[in-house]
A and B are shown apart, each in its own frame.
Chain A
């Protein structure tokens, strides 16, 4: 028994339907902690180089961290990792909810899915009992509907993660849904499950998580919750959650509008948290052990639909970025995306790209099977999303992702796709936000906001300032992804300023170890180098060319608070030079053999040298 861990890794071969339970060793726990660090390690070590993401040889790694499922506030993260079918590189995507605790109560810290079934199946875990079961009765159902159906059939105390029709149809930005509306959204992990014909995981366990000092943990937790309750921002954040920033984002010109073509949204008052609270609010909803309860469960009377959310990212990408009228339209698009099982960020990007092609006359009503893809046309957007999820008509092209669709369509349309490494931008315009842009450029999964959310530093340090921002991103990339190693949410740290040292204390109370911040940051450096090494190994020609911002950012912003702002190549080069220097990578942004050896990744250096990817 290792404190903080369920104790085992379930290795499931879907081809043969065999299951192996491997022990979590003290070396694995101490040297690699868990969460995304385990995923990075196992992905590099176990995936054959150059594997097709949708082939049986790809694997899915579902990992908890040592704090997942514990009493520590907001210990509600579980990570889904695989070689991304959207980007061809490293992806891990995390979800909140309840399932991470159930993993550990079943004695499972990580599940590794291998091979592929010939027929639809789901994975059933009830403590020691693990079975690959027939899922033909659930195949074709929506993600959320599948969760309700499996709970009905197995028992309400099972926790379910499921895919929808989009995952089944290998849509490359399909996502995994759990607990009504918590998603591992990014990078198409659900398409990999679809390729393995795995519809869902149902899991239940009865074993408490071993904690080295449970009394100390309870005392520490109660003190932190007491602190949180007294913070000035707690009442606002627990009420509005991520939607609270919609107004602020509009006021500083980062809310995306019409595929990032504009810098301010005329209908902002109809899509913000306040309007949402007044029109569609049902109740606040919290993830496991979370005192913040930032999620909002909603019901749109206009569309007669329940949805968890919308969160800010969905408000941005499926709201202002599509010219939608109000939160009601965003709610129904969000509900559609959830049940079809597609990432609302990449879905918003794909629809926005399609609408811009329509705006420019590059694609017409005929191309869209009769849909008028005008900004704000919610019914056209909904129908288009269904075409994507079912790969019908033009949906077949867009199901490959917006960037791949642009490459098929040609005519220079790639410049209208707002992405990095094939992963679509989260909802922050970076015409005048160099640190946030660098965060998107260098995030190890593509243009995702969670690795380094640096928009605040852009405001405080100066919108046009480049100097010092490489270091800002480097530092954030060392702290924030650590949360996803430990299996906790970043919001208590980010939103109500729970000091990072309290997380380290919690980790030590749970594990009985004596980790320090210095050690953990050094560990972060190792994990970041390892994911970079994975990209270097998997993608021919990987390097600086893959860290470039989207073409849109080089266009002058025509309106709004950032009117006239645009990015220059000099800025981009300066940002990347400083960033690569901070990581001690070469000018092309590749890890060096020397640096890899210094940080304990000598075997990775040897591997990359042998493959001719880096210099000896």
Chain B
């Protein structure tokens, strides 16, 4: 299984990953619909990257069983089943489940990988399970 690994020390905070994600997944020009979060911490000078690492906590807390795993290993929230209770958002240890006007339900990384292509700083890279 492939994962996207984050390296916050490389992140420059440019938000190209978020812009690319929003364009790829929602056909929107914004960083605010992204399935990845970037949080600047200044003055100390670092960027937090919030991205699903497929830990599965969300699936275990979902009260209606709306979260499944795709063939690629991505966690997917089924919009038909989801009751939008927010349990997954609150429980996610990576703070990597998002809400935005782009979707009626929360969502997380679907491992499309568009962000990896456009991260010139190499803060996002693919890694294969051993």
Contacts and interface: CB of A to CB of B under 8 A. Distances in A.
Interface of A: 69-71, 73, 98, 101, 105, 144, 148, 156, 180, 206-211, 214-215, 217-218, 221-222, 225-226, 228-229, 234, 238, 282-293, 295, 297, 299, 306
B90 interface: no
A295 B45 CA distance: 12
Interface in B76-97: none
Contact of A214 (B27, B39, B43): B27
Given A180-B42, A217-B23, A283-B46, A208 B118 contact: no
A291 B14 CA distance: 7
B29 A238 contact: no
A225 B14 contact: no
Given A225-B117, A293-B121, A218 B23 contact: yes
Contacts of A218: 20, 23-24, 114
Contact of B28 (A156, A214, A295, A306): A214
Q: Which 7 A-B pairs have the closest CB atoms?
A: A286-B14, A286-B12, A293-B12, A291-B120, A208-B30, A208-B28, A209-B29
B30 A222 contact: no
A297 B45 CA distance: 7
A289 B19 contact: yes
B14 A71 contact: no
Contacts, number: 103
21 contacts: A69-B29, A73-B16, A105-B30, A148-B43, A207-B30, A208-B29, A211-B29, A214-B28, A218-B24, A222-B118, A225-B120, A238-B120, A283-B12, A283-B45, A285-B12, A285-B13, A285-B45, A286-B12, A288-B15, A292-B120, A306-B44
A288 B29 CA distance: 13
Contacts of A215: 23, 27
Q: How large is the interface on B (under 10, 10 to 19, 20 to 34, 35 or more residues)?
A: 20 to 34
Contacts of A210: 29
B33 interface: yes
A180 B20 CA distance: 25
Interface of B: 9, 12-16, 19-20, 22-24, 27-33, 39-40, 42-47, 101, 114, 117-118, 120-121
A287 B24 CA distance: 21
Contacts of A70: 29
Contacts of B114: 218, 222
A215 B27 CA distance: 7
B47 to A, nearest CB: 8
A614 B91 CA distance: 71
B12 A306 contact: no
A129 to B, nearest CB: 17
A290 B16 contact: yes
User: Considering residues A215, A218, A299, which has the most beta carbons from chain B within 10 angstroms of its beta carbon?
Assistant: A218
A551 to B, nearest CB: 42
Given A148-B43, A293-B120, A284 B31 contact: no
A335 to B, nearest CB: 10
Nearest to B24: A218
A180 B118 contact: no
User: Considering residues B20, B27, B30, which has the most beta carbons from chain A within 10 angstroms of its beta carbon?
Assistant: B30
Nearest to A74: B14
A207 B121 CA distance: 27
A417 B21 CA distance: 51
Given A221-B118, A306-B45, 4 more contacts: A73-B16, A206-B101, A225-B16, A226-B117
Contacts of B23: 71, 214-215, 217-218
A101 B31 contact: yes
Nearest to A145: B43
Contacts of A222: 20, 114, 117-118
Nearest to B40: A156
Contacts of B101: 206
B29 A291 contact: no
Nearest to B8: A283
Nearest to A204: B32
Contacts of B29: 69-71, 208-211, 214, 217
Contacts of B117: 222, 225-226
Given A208-B33, A217-B23, A180 B43 contact: yes
Contacts of B47: 283
A287 B32 contact: no
A206 B99 CA distance: 13
A295 to B, nearest CB: 8
Contacts of A293: 12, 14, 120-121
Contacts of A285: 12-13, 45
Nearest to A287: B14
B121 A238 contact: yes
Contacts of B45: 282-283, 285, 297, 299, 306
B64 to A, nearest CB: 28
Contacts of B42: 148, 180, 297, 306
B98 to A, nearest CB: 13
Contacts of A101: 31
Contacts of A156: 39-40
